[in-house]
Amino acid sequence: MGYLAVLENIMMALQVVVLIFVIVFSAGLMKKAENGAFPAFFTFAMLSYLLSDLYIIIYTFLRPEDRMPFAADEIAECAALLLLIAGIEAISKEQRKTVSFGSLIFSLLFTSANIALWIVWSGEWVQDIVFGLPYFYLIYLLVAMLKRSGAMSETEMIATLMPCTVLFLLHVFQIFVTKPLLGSALDATCFALEIGVTEWFFWKTWQNLQNKEKESGERALYLSVTALLWTVLVCYMNGGVLYVAAVGVNTMTLPLMLAAVKRLPGDKKPEEMNPGEKKEQGES
Amino acid sequence: MVYAENILICIAVPLAIALMFLRGAVRRFDFAFLSGMVTCLLAAYIGGFFAQVSGMGAENVSIFLSPIIEEIMKLLPVLFYLSLYEPKDTELLQAAVGIGAGFATFENCCYVLSNGAQNLSYVLIRGSAVGVMHLVSMVALALGLHLLKRYKVFTFSGIMGALSLAVTFHATYNLLVSEPGVSTYIGYALPILFALILYAQTHRYIERGE
């Protein structure tokens, strides 16, 4: 096992430790039931994430020479995303009543661009398309909810979109680059841009966590889940030492999400509900 | 060569006849147990087909393909029951446990008949590891579906999320026991450990349901 594999495993083990803490705390929130439906889904999502990490670590130790085909770690990552989707669907029923076409088109373009790059890098087109589908729906949900909850203004969204477009172009350009020095320079530039966008999400989440308004918990949650998704994509976009660093950044989003989950408001009391919600509650 | 269909007939007939004399939760469990055994046979057919098509070796099939096929097959009767009969939470759990236990029992029967049952310690490990693993993955799946129902997000993404969680657990177990050594022992202990954790989490809600 090379030094990079050892480094990767150390970082993964660190993420496992962080995940165990996150799961223990979120299971506590789930039992208290003060923060609504989301902690339950979040706990299961983090459990999936933990299983994915464990699978990678076990696989690297038991079969270091074999390349994983259609493997369980990707299924577990999908499970985590799907459970986060279910959680967001549970807390945003009211705001999701109409389809946001702008978010749908953005999500389609963004996911297609990512899938195209994954196919170029891995050559596994069926797998990349299948596993791209949960990303498509989660990105749609997140963009729609970031907009509707007021977590990000239109200007901020456009400002975030610009480095994403530049990143895509740089990665496409990188495919045709043959000189190693230029390739390394491009890698470093892309990574700097990716970390810049991550920091932006971190800062916005932190701002909302500091805010005492009732809605800021929900906003912080959408922003932190976006940060998680973005850092997962950053991991896919990098190799070698940069991948290890990306996993480290990805780990940092986990406690951030937990902090946002803790700030979520609980289910409405009967006196706070409008007649429609009361009726829906009565039906259950 | 194991004649799995013949084994199924031999075990299933008394259970099927017993259905006539049973009522309530016991009948539900008996039927779920039978469904689990049939599901196991169907999963073996489908697994065999995919193994042929993909050209993977037996070990790779058990690590990469079997968990996906078996968990999808186990999910189908639970989903069928859930959408057709709208069961209560405890009823759903009982059905899931029955399917898991039936699946594990039939798989173990076929395994013991083809490999012999002379070595007691190996048979014990087989029963408490693979057998419990199928049970644990079904209980986890039922809990996931219960959660989706409770929060009214019984959507495709939610169901797939719960299914993927069960698949990953199954795949991790298969990977751990695929190589001899310490990993195998960890793999054997994993289902029992998870069964205890799940019991600690669910026993209050099972008693409340009763």
8-state DSSP, B63 = I
Measure A33 CA to nearest chain B CA, in Å. 12
Rounded Cα distance, A133 and A111, in Å? 8
pLDDT in tens, A158-204: 999 999 999 999 999 988 888 888 888 999 999 999 999 999 999 99
ipTM: 0.81
- Say yes or no for a CB contact (<8 Å) between A86 and B168: no
| Contact (CB<8Å) A75/B171 | yes
For position B207, what pLDDT does the model report? 64
- B172/A71 Cβ within 8 A: no
Name residue B165's amino acid.
L
Per the CB < 8 Å rule, is B164 touching A78? yes
Residue A238 and residue A11 in contact, taking contact as beta carbons nearer than 8 Å: no
Q: Are B100 and B36 in contact (CB under 8 A)?
A: yes
Res. A282 pLDDT band, cuts 50 70 90 = very low
Cβ partners under 8 Å of residue B201, min gap 6: B143
| B67 contacts on A by Cβ (under 8 Å) | 72
Instruction: Please answer yes or no on whether B157 and A89 come within 8 Å at the CB atom.
Output: yes
Closest Cβ opposite residue B172 in set A55, A70, A89: A55
- CB-CB neighbors (< 8 A) of B144 in chain A: 44
Helical axes A125-149 vs A72-91, angle rounded to 10°? 20
pLDDT per residue over A108-166, tens digit each? Answer: 999 999 999 999 988 888 888 988 999 999 999 999 999 988 899 889 999 999 999 99
The closest CB to that of B164, out of A71, A79, A89, belongs to A79
Distance between CA atoms of residues B185 and B28, nearest Å:
35
How far apart CA A86 and CA B145 sit, in angstroms, is 11
Q: Which of A13-22, A268-277, B30-39 has the lowest mean pLDDT?
A: A268-277
The tens-digit pLDDT sequence of chain B (210 residues) is 678 888 899 999 999 999 999 888 899 999 999 999 999 999 999 988 988 888 887 788 888 889 999 999 999 999 999 888 888 888 888 999 999 999 999 999 998 888 887 788 888 888 888 889 999 999 888 888 888 887 777 888 788 888 888 898 899 999 898 888 888 999 999 999 989 988 887 776 666 554
A40 contacts B158? CB cut-off 8 A: no
Q: Which residues of A touch B (CB under 8 A)?
A: 37, 40-41, 44-45, 47-48, 51-52, 54-55, 58-59, 61-63, 69-73, 75-76, 78-83, 85-87, 89-90, 93, 134, 137, 284
CB contact at 8 A, A38 and A257: no
Cα distance between residue A25 and residue B135, in whole Å: 27
Top pLDDT among A277 and B124 is at: B124
The pLDDT, as a whole number, for residue B28 is: 92
Buried b (16+ CB within 10 A) or exposed e, A148-170: bbebbeeeebeebeebbeebbeb
Q: Where are the domains of chain B?
A: 4-209
Retrieve residue B31's tokens: 């039927």
Any alpha helices (H) in B19-65, and if so which ranges?
Answer: 24-54, 58-60
Alpha-carbon gap, residue A234 to A253, rounded angstroms? 13
One-letter identity of residue A11: M
Are A41 and B152 in contact (CB < 8 Å)?
Answer: no
Query: What confidence score (pLDDT) does residue B124 get?
Result: 87
Cβ distance A52 to B168 less than 8 Å, yes or no, reads yes
Contacts 24+ apart (CB under 8 A), A235-241: A236/A114, A236/A118, A237/A117, A237/A167, A237/A171, A237/A190, A237/A194, A238/A187, A238/A190, A238/A191, A238/A194, A240/A4, A241/A4, A241/A7
Give B24 to chain A, closest Cα distance, Å: 24
When pLDDT is averaged across residues A90-104 and rounded to a whole number, the result is 80
- CB-side neighbour CA atoms (13 Å) of A73: 14
Q: Would you tell me how many other CB atoms lie within 10 Å of the CB of residue A71? A: 19
Residue with tokens 């470093």: A188
pLDDT at A274 over 70: no
The residue among A82 and B118 whose pLDDT is bigger is: A82
- Ordered by start, the domain boundaries in chain A are 3-267
